Amino acid sequence: MPDTRAVAPLLLSWYDRHHRSFPWRVPPAEGQRGLRAQPYHVWLSEVMLQQTTVQAVMPYFERFRTLWPRVEDLAAAETEDVMKAWAGLGYYARARNLKKCAEAVARDHGGRFPDTEEGLRALPGIGDYTAAAVAAIAFDRPSAVVDGNVERVVSRLFRVEESLPAAKREFRALTASITPKERPGDFAQAMMDLGSTICTPRRPVCALCPLNGHCLAYRTGAEIETYPRKAPKKEKPVRRGAAFVARAADGAIFLRRRIDSGLLGGMSEVPSTAWSARTDGATEADAAPFAADWQPCGSVTHVFTHFSLELTVFAADGLEAIRRNDGWWEPATSLSGAALPTVMKKAIALAFPQALAS
DNA sequence: CATACGTGGTT
DNA sequence: TAACCAAGTAT
């Protein structure tokens, strides 16, 4: 077994020299002087970073912080504006829960985030990972912060043979065994930095790792890339459907709002048929939301987490923007700022290449 | 415990 | 290029 006491000092020393800088972070030197990142910023960044890359998150984080500087501002915002600001980041339940969480903090906690893992865990959109991360980073709690990076580091450090997701409990216990009471927030961020820059999924740079002297997988000559062990994945089915992009004479595009639950919940869309597993290849101009001169203009493919979608796109142009109760005509000038998920932007761009240029 | 839930980048 | 991956959560 690795010497669990030796890990944290080595890792923190490495972090002091090699930490990455982000808008939501406080550098370790300032942390040592007692400065802490704002819980609101830590929480916002952690939610955005769930299953999402730092690069993708960066502009969204800055945008949210500008639009809503405090959690009370976010709590008071229009949900539709939050969805618009989140559009393109994916996993839209996060945006809905983000708003609910802000409201709960403002209403039930006087605008202050709970400072314990348990208190945080009870809020919408905050699970085991985020509760532990916010508790450690914002409130100096020695919680076991386990994300995908940490699972990878720990699985190699201790050469864990059990597969994910069954190994979750073991990873949590092992992480707790190396988490220090001093600087737990820096330790958590250091583990994640190590996982994303040194202990990478493929081609890890073990020669530069501050923990290589204690890493069981490294010391025993194991095939390091094969950790963590994972259960085999299921293959993605293909679903098909049709989308109808209607443009008025003034350039407005007809949009609808999807129901709050399920895929792309609460986001905007162009009228579409259901997405089925049907493979007969029929076109369905007759499934259009209203009568018009619908012209087929090709198809777009979009890959979701658990299926691929092939969307046949129909377009109609120069329509009279008659008022309808099942949607609205989004003006050309505001279309690019609408709450449109990427798949819908693809469909609109195929029908009218300049529509989203704005 | 398994499944639903986005998107864009990398290999 | 198909596969894999990225700071997970809710049900």
Q: How many Å from the CA of A261 to C1' of B5?
A: 10
Which 8-state DSSP code applies to residue A48? H
Averaged pLDDT, A140-156? 97
CA-closest candidate to residue A265, choices A146, A114, A100, A128: A100
pLDDT band, residue A31 (cuts 50/70/90): confident
Per-residue pLDDT, A283: 56
Q: Annotated catalytic, A151?
A: no
From A46, A103, A117, A330, active-site residue: A46
What does the alpha-carbon distance between residue A348 and residue A69 come to, in Å, rounded to a whole number? 33
Per-residue pLDDT, A12: 97
Averaged pLDDT, A229-252? 94
Question: Which part of chain A has CATH 1.10.340.30?
Answer: 4-226
One of 3.90.79.10, 3.40.50.720, 3.40.50.620, 3.40.50.280 is the CATH number of A238-351, namely 3.90.79.10
Averaged pLDDT, A11-25? 96
Residue nearest to nucleotide C5 (CA to C1'): A201
Beta carbon of A52 within 7 Å of strand C?
yes
Span A310-348, pLDDT tens digits: 999 999 999 999 999 999 999 999 999 999 999 999 999
Q: Tokens in use for A5? A: 């006491």
pLDDT above 60 for A281: no
What does the alpha-carbon distance between residue A43 and residue A58 come to, in Å, rounded to a whole number? 14
Q: Tokens in use for A13? A: 């020393």
pLDDT band, residue A287 (cuts 50/70/90): confident
Question: Which part of chain A has CATH 3.90.79.10?
Answer: 238-351
Separation in Å, CA A42 to CA A45, A49, A191 = 5, 10, 16
CATH topology of domain A4-226: Endonuclease III; domain 1 (1.10.340)
Residue nearest to nucleotide C10 (CA to C1'): A125
Per-residue pLDDT, A285: 65
